[in-house]
C-alpha cells in the first residue's frame, strides 16, 4: 500500500478514537463503567454506552467481561456473582434451602480475600446514596428477581427481598459494625439460629 493510501486510513483510525486492547484500556473501561452505572443506574446503563464513553468498541467489553453483570462486578470489585447463588439455594431438598444459604454465606465470607472486597463495597454503599442505589438495583435484578422466579409460592418477590435484607443485615452486623456476640459466633452456632428465618422467607407461609 502506498504512503498516499496509508495516510487516510491512519487518519480515519485516529478519528474513531477507539483504543486498542490492553491494561490501560481495561482501566478506562472500568472507569467509564463506574461513571455510567452511577449516572444511569444498573438497568439503564448499556454496554454500548459504556464503550462509547471509554472510547472503545463494544465488542471489546464483551471480550473482557462477557456480560453487563460481570462488568458491574468488576467495576465495583464485587466478590460474589449473585446469579450463581440462586442454583445453590434452590437445588436439593426444599426443606434445607435456608440452611444451604446460611452455610454458603458464612463459608465464602470466611475467605479473607472475598470478605475484604465485600466490606469495601458495603462500606462504600453505606457512605454513598448513589452507590447504595446502584447496588440495590443490581441485587434486585440479578438476585431477587432470579430467586423469585424459582420460588413457586405466593409473594415470591417479597420473599426474595426479605432474604436479601437478611443477607445484608447479617453482613453489616457481623463484619462492618462487628456487633457482639454475632461477630465472634462460630458457623455452627449461627446456622441453627439463622437457617429457620431464611427457610421461612424462602418457603414458609405468608400472612
pLDDT reported for residue 141: 86
Examine the pLDDT at 147 and tell me if it is beyond 70: yes
Residue 77 pLDDT level (bands cut at 50, 70, 90): confident
pLDDT reported for residue 22: 53
Angstrom distance (rounded) from CA 28 to CA 22: 10
Examine the pLDDT at 15 and tell me if it is beyond 90: no
Angstrom distance (rounded) from CA 88 to CA 111: 18
| Residue pLDDT, tens place only, 32-63 | 998 888 788 788 889 999 999 999 999 999 98
Domains (range + CATH), the chain: 3-76 (1.10.10.60), 82-203 (1.10.357.10)
Residue 37 exposed, middle or buried by CB count within 10 Å (0-12, 13-18, 19+) = buried
Examine the pLDDT at 5 and tell me if it is beyond 80: no
pLDDT reported for residue 9: 36
pLDDT reported for residue 81: 82
Q: What is the pTM of this model?
A: 0.71
pLDDT reported for residue 201: 92
Examine the pLDDT at 199 and tell me if it is beyond 80: yes
Mean pLDDT of all residues in the chain? 83
Amino acid at each position: 500500500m502506498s504512503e498516499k493510501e496509508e495516510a487516510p486510513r491512519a487518519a480515519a483510525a485516529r478519528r474513531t478514537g477507539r483504543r486498542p486492547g490492553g491494561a490501560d484500556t481495561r482501566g478506562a473501561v472500568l472507569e467509564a463503567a463506574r461513571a455510567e452505572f452511577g449516572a444511569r443506574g444498573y438497568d439503564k446503563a448499556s454496554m454500548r454506552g459504556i464503550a462509547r464513553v471509554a472510547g472503545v468498541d463494544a465488542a471489546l467489553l464483551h471480550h473482557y467481561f462477557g456480560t453487563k453483570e460481570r462488568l458491574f462486578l468488576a467495576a465495583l470489585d464485587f466478590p460474589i456473582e449473585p446469579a450463581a447463588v440462586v442454583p445453590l439455594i434452590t437445588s436439593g431438598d426444599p426443606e434445607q434451602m435456608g440452611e444451604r444459604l446460611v452455610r454458603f454465606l458464612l463459608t465464602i465470607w470466611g475467605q479473607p480475600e472475598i470478605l475484604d472486597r465485600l466490606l469495601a463495597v458495603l462500606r462504600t454503599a453505606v457512605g454513598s446514596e448513589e452507590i447504595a442505589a446502584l447496588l440495590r438495583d443490581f441485587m434486585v435484578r440479578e438476585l431477587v428477581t432470579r430467586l423469585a422466579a424459582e420460588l413457586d409460592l405466593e409473594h415470591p418477590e417479597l420473599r426474595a427481598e426479605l432474604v436479601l435484607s437478611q443477607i445484608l443485615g447479617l453482613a453489616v452486623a457481623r463484619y462492618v459494625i462487628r456487633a457482639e456476640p454475632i461477630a465472634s459466633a462460630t458457623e455452627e452456632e449461627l446456622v441453627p439460629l439463622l437457617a429457620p428465618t431464611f427457610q421461612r422467607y424462602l418457603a414458609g407461609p405468608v400472612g
